[in-house]
Chain A
Amino acid sequence: MAWPPPDSRMAPLLAVEDLLVEFHTRSGTVRALDGVSFDLRHGEMMALVGESGSGKSVTAYAILGILDTAARISGRVVFDGRELLSAGEKAMGAVRGSKLAIIFQNPRTALNPIRPIGKQIADVLARHGNVTAAQAQRLGVEMLAKVRIPDPKRRAAAYPFELSGGMCQRVMIAMALACEPALLIADEPTTGLDITTQAAIMGLIAELVASRNMAMLLITHDLALAAQYCNRIAVMHAGHLVELAPTRLLFATPRHPYTANLIAAAPGEGAGLDRLSAIPGTIPDLRRGDLPACRYSERCERVTPDCRTGPLLRLDTADGRRVACRHPL
């Protein structure tokens, strides 16, 4: 079957609607995600940015269905015309790793330490493709070559501890792309790598994604990185998607105060370190019973009383932007 099917061209590849995730823990209910909605078209590269604890990875794990069993999830995740949240574990197993793949941060610990890397890639191929073990092994070596690992045949027998962090991330990429997915989620793929390797890895991912006409959801806290590779950026804060806009517009005219502050806080060209402005406060404790309607209101300079009490307003504008703020810039 040709991928993607011709008739699905118009519909978005991934539609996340009103996603809500809660974790029931001993110290209270963590409202990790609340009303997160976004679309992703075929072949599109979109970024999910925000500081630690803003819910970026939880969003990714919820889409993949690999959240902890303590998580309560509601909303809709439609991928390739199929609702995933209501799909059973068996159906999800067939989607994960084949049409929907993910690359994690810290590649060294994300790989099985006592299994040769070639075998780990072959495991994924054997699971999803109709191939024999020997074919899977051979295809795995081919994948290693595609992510430019030198001497792939010999390296296939290596263990993660014998490879550098950058090499391990290449292995992760080979594993994720082995079954030609339609969507790749890259969850901070360069975190934990040294700075020169970061650029090479990101370049490799973007190149492979573009050459296969895949869609990518890049999760990062690095606005500059997101701007470099993605046409649209979604900004998250404390489990809310606060702003979603085409990259150029987001930087030119940020509408949400958090986005504006985030851009001001990022080191840019020519800007000295003394001109960086920090965002006051921290992400609120998501276990709190009295979370304000707008979770940024306690850090916001434009706050009014109705920001805390009234429902959070999500405005869609004509130029394809969305902002969750009562008093946008």
Chain B
Amino acid sequence: MPVLRRLLIALPSVMGVIVVTFLLTRALPGDPAIYFAGPAATQQAIAEIRHAMGFDRSLPAQFVDYVRHLSRGDLGTSLTTGQPVLSELAARLPASAELTLTALVLSVGIALPLGIVAALRPGSPVDHVCRIITTAGVSLPTFFTGLLLVYLFYYLAGVAPAPLGRLDTFSTPPPHYSGFYLVDSLIAGDFVTFRAALGQLLLPSATMAIFSLAPLARITRASMLAALGSEFIRTARASGLGRRRVVCVYALRNALLPVITTLGMVFSFMLGANVLVEKVFAWPGLGSYAVDALIASDYAPVQGFVLAMALLYVMLNLMIDLIYCLLDPRVRLDA
């Protein structure tokens, strides 16, 4: 099983992540015991709380304790909400995933055709539009794009709903199947909720899409240009193959290889960009959860968040590798 082997190879990096996040959260300024005890607490009360939390023990002892809990699937309990971190992450993951995936579909859906057309007609208006969009996309920070979109479409034009989370106050969440509001509302046949959820989703996902569009469109254009100029395209043309076959089968499939690699990187950037976008749009996802916990020196959620991200990243890389294997016969998974 090459897939299994590939997963085993990722194990050391996951262990590394566990160690680093543990150490990093301990190195952060701020004392959770003081925060938890409140402003009126006495020195003695703080010390008692610290003892109860286990923070007065040595770092190695704390780490062993942490790993022991982790192996039982226990990510600890949030000090601010009092809820187990695992269930909170699980509840918030669909919100982030729905946002990120929608943004990814949006940006791939725009970047790929744009890059392909720009490569087919270099110097054409489409090519210039492609260049402008990619330049703008990389130079605008996501929180700025987000605020700009809110200002334009909510405040000025009034066509977008208030940036206040996944649903407006008048809608109720659809019954839980996948946690994705778009999917769940469709399953339930509730088109009113579907439209409301889609409306809320549009601006934040567009914000992230604009950010991730640039590298994708640029690499699509570049690799498509390279593929179209290669010798095997000349052979295909000399064999009389039709333009569609030459472009879609011969050039595009070869050009997709670097695009897939970039897609993996873009996706991991998006996981990071999530944090800011979720804050701007009051999105109840993993990113805003982690930021809140970090400000409160709440160790367990931060550790849980970083660990979840690391695991997501490992899975993502595995998926990219698998797609690569399907597309390129020269790449072997077990090699």
**Chain A residues near B (Cβ < 8 Å):** 64, 66, 89, 92-98, 101-102, 104, 106, 109-115, 123-124, 127-128, 159, 161, 172, 175-176
Contact = CB atoms under 8 A, between A and B. Distances in A.
A237 B127 CA distance: 39
B330 A110 contact: no
B234 A104 contact: yes
B253 A114 contact: yes
Interface of B: 230-232, 234-243, 245, 249-250, 253-254, 257, 327-330
Given A106-B231, A109-B230, A110-B232, A124 B250 contact: no
B238 A97 contact: yes
A13 B211 CA distance: 58
6 contacts: A96-B237, A106-B231, A109-B230, A124-B241, A159-B330, A176-B239
A195 to B, nearest CB: 23
Q: Which of B232, B239, B242 has the most CB of A within 10 A?
A: B239
Contacts of A98: 240
Given A104-B231, A114-B329, A115-B250, A96 B240 contact: yes
Contacts of B253: 114-115
Contact of A110 (B231, B257, B327): B231
A206 to B, nearest CB: 21
A66 B231 contact: no
Given A159-B329, A161-B330, A111 B235 contact: yes
B238 A113 contact: no
B236 A112 contact: yes
Nearest to A112: B232
A66 B238 contact: yes
A124 B239 CA distance: 6
Contacts of A172: 235
A64 B230 CA distance: 17
Contacts of A110: 231-232, 234-235
Contact of A97 (B239, B243, B254, B328): B239
Nearest to A109: B231
Given A64-B238, A97-B241, A114-B254, 13 more contacts: A98-B240, A101-B239, A109-B230, A110-B232, A112-B232, A112-B235, A113-B232, A113-B330, A114-B253, A114-B257, A114-B329, A123-B239, A159-B329
Contacts of B240: 92-98, 124, 127-128
B232 A123 contact: no
Contacts of B234: 66, 104, 110
Given A66-B234, A104-B235, A161-B330, A112 B250 contact: yes
Contacts of A127: 239-242, 245
A172 B238 CA distance: 12
A111 B230 CA distance: 10
Contact of A96 (B238, B327, B328): B238
A71 to B, nearest CB: 14
A-B pairs with lowest CB-CB distance, top 4: A97-B240, A97-B239, A96-B240, A112-B232
A102 to B, nearest CB: 5
Nearest to A64: B238
Interface centre among B230, B231, B242, B257 (most CB of A within 10 A): B231
Contacts of A112: 232, 235-236, 250, 254
B329 A175 contact: no
A128 B257 CA distance: 30
A117 to B, nearest CB: 11
Contacts of A66: 234, 237-238
Nearest to A121: B239
B104 to A, nearest CB: 24
A60 B245 CA distance: 23
A119 to B, nearest CB: 9
Contacts of B236: 112, 123
A175 B235 CA distance: 10
Contacts of A97: 238-241
A183 to B, nearest CB: 13
Contact of A113 (B239, B243, B254): B254
- From A112, A127, A159, A172, residue with most partner B Cβ within 10 Å: A112
Contacts of A175: 235, 239
Contacts of B230: 109
A127 B253 CA distance: 19
Contacts of A96: 237-240
Nearest to B257: A114
A203 to B, nearest CB: 23
Contacts of B330: 113-114, 159, 161
A277 to B, nearest CB: 35
B166 to A, nearest CB: 41
